[in-house]
Structure 1
């Protein structure tokens, strides 16, 4: 007889049957192509050794599809933001320590992997780190984005101020404008700035690292500080690239080009707000960049509408586009440098939805001409064809996100890809005949694939990660709403024969609200539910993108009307199926989806349970406290907020509700979750009993934000949600809380 200890644990049918296996699945994202078209590099994130985070590494994928993918980098801290330069150098950011400096602090630094191979080396480390890098495709020009303290005009001053704050233990921020935070982080006292990366010691004395780059002839051969007292601008010189140059020279080895020091030359000295970061579209020849500058206006309004051209040789800047009452974002620059694609969006109002449209801008004059205005989609242009006759774009469309080709002269739009998938990070081969990108759908997570732009044929390349097996099938479903509008979505069904009476149904409402269920989500994964026997409905109600402007307008400022009735209409259509059980249903959603879950709970008792994550509850309080109050003011006026606020219907909530919120959520502040929880217990149609017991639950994450990102917390999230649904939908009885919540006794030794 075999003992229990000798019996191997059963292998789960798929990773979605086991939450540890699911959180351990590697995750592919991002893509960059070398200018000669021979090298593709993507990023793969894997769970760290402690299981409390993810670390990413760079992997190379063969564009020809003949060789297996292979790993390029390896570190505990991980690598991100890979970009190829014109000479084939691969730049990236990483917080890994510099192997040449045993005293170096861990922070995001700029690294380079030579085109000819060899070890990666740190080029630049500075207080506040390096955020991103952008490279000219046909010239030796590298642009870096990094935060600089507002009181500093040089890198030396920035380093001194950063040291003063650190030494004093001060993290306070004094604001003079709005906004003050974004998603999950505070804004200020530094703001993102644009720099050009240059070789050599800065002639103005700005440091390449925490301090000035040392003169190679005077740097100690040991590579360490000699302990002599010095100013903030000369301390820590051993951490600069100049140290390794000096060491190499002193050793008698032939110096290498990679050993020269680097510094940053500031080029974004134009007026702008510190809101929301700063990006750059670098011209192919590296002579200039275009960037969008956010500007602060009266009463806390912020407008991202100023497009600035910066001469990268001189730093001279010139405003090309600045139209009051609209936002504008700049896209890629044509190969000849004469044009760029921009997206112009007039400010929305409570009575008119946002409507972004494409234009082609003259990069010398700023003049814009419409592009494909007859096409009723919201598009992002990702590249120009080599002859600049057309651009490649991505756009949500009917529950997918295909690749499109737009003729610049005529505005004619042709869809390139036709499968049920969503594309991102699309890059073009030098000949313009082939594109590469990251694609996904609800059948498979992101993976790298090749597109034939002439035929639309797609080939999956040998990836770093294999596709996981999903436990079920995916169907396209639709119905007609009460106003005659077509409403569609995806239906996930568990594998195998449906039980008698049908599968229990989970209505899962997407966030945004300007978005669509079209791409794989690691955060919102219906297959975990399907593995437990649930059918999952992923609807695209009014306000969803990919169905035309009128579909968005139907729900604009009227969140509780068409979006709600669309959800109920599609739910009615699905529960009418023989393989779905109309008596065992639940509703859930996050962000706007959480708002809709709250609205649903107050307007129908059809659902056995409701799960609401990071949700809006009382709109009058949400508006002034969200991180972008100015945008919310364009969405609803006070009358609309009152009419559409879920909190007014708390007395009608009879379904048990699971509230989930992270304290670091600045988009939907924690106050929304706290008020919802308080009012559920005191005022709902299912209030707490006299002894304080309740069927409602509140899952609170003190250190998570709008999303639950840490793998151990994602596991708890699903465990609590599944237990709550199991109790109220499946009738499984009160669940046992995960031991990691500290509410149950530990297993006996």
Structure 2
């Protein structure tokens, strides 16, 4: 790696030690640029969940971190008000409430010191912080309200009625009905504004109870939204699913919100860019085109301009580009930036002075930071190391950047990037989440595809692998498919395999991002063609290395990676074992049962969908397969693996029903398998399966599986 990181210990040989590693999940920079607040997740004492707390770190890279919060329910969604108060969302008990509803609320930790206090008391709780103003104390939150409710009190009453009658039924009147890992409804997402400028602490005098209370008056008083709290103003009344925004931002004075709202269209919809007057709720449409999304708006520091991403709908003919545009705050004089810059932005903010945008994007197996001038000149790459950057913020006093960065050798950690391009880790070595020492080493493998396109991959090698001690190879295929193996993932950790002696290949085949639109288009509407041959080509190049044992190669992947694992299983016998997690198996079935069927059907032609479906080759599978799925996976429904498992048994089980294939099923997990102990079971099962078929070891059933 081209950058030095602080290393202190080696936890990857123990799954218990690995899940116990602290994890930095978020970053926010204070308005004065002096401190960074990190969201840090740590393993709970019973090792079955993660608890999240906020830590403050000096933004200049000196000093030591300070823990700001400590609660059993944990905190998330940190942001700053214009006055420097820290805002977060938490389900911690509210001492000022008569009854703890356990619903998460918005909390404020004063910049001047003192304990945090809840500033909302919504019956359904707060979902998150949507936007904050930089020059005022206006904030916008997201919260779910029942569709029949015409106000906060009516929502509370309707929720109580459902709870008292133990009703969980949901009536849907439009598509979709679920998303990733949760059912949608019955409540709908709203954007609510809060003015915190007049928020003040008070000491209430004791109130003598009325010996003869009026029941109706008492009930009304109990149901009323607390008068001592700022009343949320609904900016999106009767939203349907329009509140499922694709980003929003406030002007510095907090008077106008620019939001990417969803306009419903049969089973799908498009996102339009609107301006909402925060005081009156009046809405003005800025950008709206048929079959075009306008998303990810950001407002300039002086409030005069808005930047956003414009992308047409993709079709079976090819992927649409993601274009960066800028316009006046009223939508005037729109123009495209970086037209010759063939990358897709993953985040965008205005630079100091508002003359450029600071943008992150996948790029060549990394995720650097770029500066794109508003005057139309070429994009400039600001970071050149082997890391990917997220949560980028601009120091308003110096123009330096602070961000989180990670690679496959180092999890997310906070850094400062100077105007000269120097990268300085913050609060090293005294950090709330010290970087673990990574086993092995990382290098790049390059080759050429069948059509002449250059291909590359990360290769992680275990310590001691050489020509005399070649390592078995594990081809690990990324999901997406519009994705890149360029950043740390706590869910997919190839270092755990490296610590067990495997070399891990992380390739970016056709459809991967970070190599331009043409590279994505190579695999469009034909997932089983160039993505497949690219994977074989990069595997061939890797197996040719003297430190790789080509006779011991396995393949695995999740989501689209699981799809490719299934495709590989039906089209070659070169791999000794295949692990297929949350995989697509029968595309005609998947495209009608996934949570967003219209999109998946729209990017395939009828023939492309037929030709790309792996289930047609089930009879040709000869490699042992480990199939894994969570029942709460709504993006790739469990029916895909149920059908795969059924058809494996139909065509390959012995007469007595025994099979060398295995199916690991998680009734309470989703697309990723997030429970710490379930993650341990996942890795134990995968490594036991690989050891059995790659090394010829006896099958060892994980203890927790009974």
TM-score w.r.t. the length of structure 1 is 0.89
Partner of 1:49: 45
Shift of 1:682: 0.8
Residue 199 (structure 1) shift: 5.8
Q: Secondary structure of the equivalent of 1:35?
A: coil
Partner residue in 1 for 2:664: 699
Q: Is residue 487–residue 541 contact of structure 1 (8 Å, CA) maintained in 2?
A: yes
Pick from 670, 682, 696: which aligns with 1:717? 682
* 2:234 maps to 1:266: yes
The alpha carbon displacement at 1:123 in A equals 1.2
How far is 1:153 from its partner? 1.7
Paired residue for 2:442? 474
Q: Deviations over 1:175-212 (max 9, x none)?
A: 111111110111112111111114699xxxxxx9xxxx
1:738 aligns with 2:705: no
Q: Residues 200, 320 of structure 1: CA spacing in aligned structure 2 closer, same or farther, 3 A cutoff? A: closer
Do the aligned residues in 2 keep the contact of 1:160 with 1:232 (CA within 8 Å)? no
Task: Write the distance in 2 (CA, Å) between the matches of 1:13 and 1:78.
Answer: 27
Seen in structure 2, the aligned counterparts of structure 1 residues 691 and 416 have a Cα distance that, compared at 3 Å, is: same
Query: Residue 722 and residue 701 in structure 1: after superposition, are their counterparts in 2 closer, same or farther (change >3 A)?
Result: same
**Rounded Cα–Cα distance in structure 1 between residues aligned with 2:561 and 2:280:** 48
* CA-to-aligned-CA distance 1:642-699 (integer Å, 9 cap, x gap): 101000000110000000000000000010010000001112xxx1111111110000
Cross-structure match for 1:384: 350
1:231 CA displacement: 6.4
Q: Which residue does the alignment assign to 1:150?
A: 147
In 2: Cα distance, 1:400 partner to 1:499 partner: 29
* Distance in 2 separating the partners of 1:649 and 1:75: 52
Note the C-alpha offset of 1:276.
3.7
Q: What is the deviation of 1:270? A: 7.0
* Alignment partner, residue 745 of structure 1: none
After superposition, where does 1:273-288 map in structure 2 within 5 Å? Answer: 273-274=241-242, 276-277=244-245, 279-288=247-256
Mapping 1:147-296, distance limit 5 Å: 147-198=144-195, 220=207, 233-235=220-222, 260-269=228-237, 273-274=241-242, 276-277=244-245, 279-296=247-264
Residue equivalent to 1:204:
none
2:696 maps to 1:728 = no
In 1: Cα distance, 2:385 partner to 2:359 partner: 16
| Cα distance change, pair 538–221 in 1 and its aligned pair in 2 (3 A) | farther
1:688 to 639, 645, 653: 653
Map of 1:365 onto structure 2: 331
- Mapping for residues 292-371 of structure 1, pairs under 5 Å: 292-298=260-266, 300-304=267-271, 306-365=272-331, 367-371=333-337
User: Given that residues 465 and 471 in structure 2 are in contact (C-alpha distance below 8 angstroms), is that contact kept between their aligned partners in structure 1?
Assistant: no
Alpha-carbon separation, structure 2, partners of 1:739 and 1:521: 26
Q: Secondary structure at the match of 1:110?
A: strand
Deviation at 1:637, TM superposition (A): 2.1
The question of whether the paired residues in 2 share the 8 Å contact of 1:345 and 1:354 is answered with yes
C-alpha distance in 1 between matches for 2:384 and 2:472: 32
Is 1:529–1:536's contact at 8 Å kept on the other side of the alignment? yes
1:496 maps to 464
Return the structure number with greater relative CO, CA threshold 8 A, min gap 6: 2
2:54 alignment partner, one of 45, 54, 58: 58
Distance change (3 Å), C-alpha of 1:231 and 1:198:
farther
CA distance in 1, matches of 2:238, 2:392: 31
> In 1, distance between residues paired with 2:90 and 2:633?
25
1:619-698 maps to which residues of 2 (within 5 A)? 619-683=587-651, 687-698=652-663
Q: Note if contact 1:330-1:340 (Cα within 8 Å) is conserved in structure 2.
A: no
Unaligned runs of 5+ in 2: 1-7
Shift of 1:102: 6.8
Q: Is the 8 A contact 1:62 1:69 kept in 2?
A: yes
Q: Which residue of 2 aligns with 1:438?
A: 404
Instruction: State which of 388, 391, 404 in structure 1 corresponds to 2:370.
Output: 404
Q: CA deviation at 1:105?
A: 2.2
Shift of 1:262: 2.2
- TM-score w.r.t. structure 2 length? 0.94
Q: Look up the match of 2:117.
A: 121
Aligned match for 1:613, one of 581, 585, 588 = 581
What SS class does the counterpart of residue 343 from structure 1 fall into?
strand
C-alpha change, 1:75 and 1:226, in structure 2 (3 Å) is farther
Tell me how far apart the structure 1 counterparts of residues 455 and 214 of structure 2 sit (CA, whole Å). Answer: 71
1:371 offset after TM fit, Å? Answer: 0.8
CA distance in 2, matches of 1:367, 1:660: 51
Distance 1:217 1:83, change over 3 A: closer
Q: 1:649 to 1:419 in 2, by over 3 A?
A: same
What are the residue-to-residue correspondences of 1:561-640 with 2, within 5 Å?
561-640=529-608
Moved more, 350-359 or 99-108: 99-108
Give 1:205's aligned residue: none
The structural deviation recorded for 1:553 is 0.4
Structure 1 CA distance for aligned equivalents of residues 12 and 497 of structure 2:
8
